[in-house]
Amino acid sequence: MADIPEAAAIDRNTVAAIIPAYHEEKHIADVARRTLRQLVNVVVVDDGSSDATADEARKAGAAVIVHEQNRGKGESIKSGFRYCLEHDATYVVILDGDGQHLPEEIERFLAAAASGIGELLIGTRMNDVREMPWVRRTVNRYMSRKISRACGQDIPDTQCGFRMVHRIIIPSLLGGTERFDYETEMLILASRAGCRIASVPISTVYSDEVSSIHPVRDTIRFFKLMRRYKKK
């Protein structure tokens, strides 16, 4: 993969944000508005919500893609990727709709992208884990070691969904799984496409969000995913 030339600054008009959302009517308007203060192009992907997620996102000024049925976070991100490619975005930021990622920290990703350190930037909360529950911290470190080994490069917080991707690698990321394990698979797909992955320090934020991750089911999916790539 060709290196991306370094730039003094990233033109924000060439950067789009994807916010995958499922039953996020409480938070999505605030997240969308704050993201729109950082970037002009923001798309919310409503993954089959039965609440007012899509309406609240539209009121906030975001473009909205609606999945008529729940298809999973992975498919939501891929729908956003396709939209951003069609609208000529050079970089795509991904952040969650529940408020655990601070849109104001998009600035950190823009600065990192301008330095040319990687084609995929991923947030890391591991520089300050005081606010992270012990179990989540332990599981995160374990999974990050496993995934870093599979990727052949160090990724200290592989479970973080706050990311920034250059358009040149997006075609390599449109396959893979449908649900939360896609965020892990994205890193492996990117690495195998020759992508450099770099980390950007972000804040650890926990509010009243309810995780859609099912610990037992999604842990099984993780191990199946790792076993599948181990064989390749």
pLDDT tens for 9-53 read 889 999 999 999 999 999 999 999 999 999 999 999 999 999 999
pTM: 0.86
Q: Band of the pLDDT at 217, cuts 50, 70, 90? A: low
Average pLDDT for residues 122-144, to the nearest whole number? 69
Average pLDDT for residues 90-99, to the nearest whole number? 96
Closest by CA position to 97, among listed 49, 143, 157, 134? 49
208 touches 164 (CB < 8 A): no
Averaged pLDDT of the chain: 86
Q: Band of the pLDDT at 135, cuts 50, 70, 90? A: low
The yes-or-no verdict on residue 231 having pLDDT over 60 is no
Residues 6 or more apart whose CB falls under 8 angstroms from that of 99 comprise: 27, 30, 31, 205, 207, 209
The yes-or-no verdict on residue 93 having pLDDT over 90 is yes
3-state secondary structure of 52: coil
pLDDT of the residue at 222: 63
| Of residues 231 and 174, more confidently modeled | 174
pLDDT of the residue at 131: 62
Distances (CA, A) of 7 to 4, 106, 112, 144, 148: 9, 17, 10, 30, 28
Region for residue 23 given its phi and psi (left: phi exceeds 0; alpha: psi -120 to 50; beta: otherwise):
left
CATH class given for the domain over 12-230: alpha beta
Region for residue 63 given its phi and psi (left: phi exceeds 0; alpha: psi -120 to 50; beta: otherwise):
beta
The yes-or-no verdict on residue 5 having pLDDT over 80 is no
pLDDT of the residue at 178: 77
Give domain limits for the chain.
12-230
- Strands 63-67, 91-94: pairing kind: unpaired
The yes-or-no verdict on residue 106 having pLDDT over 90 is yes
CB-count exposure of residue 34 (10 Å: 0-12, 13-18, 19+): middle
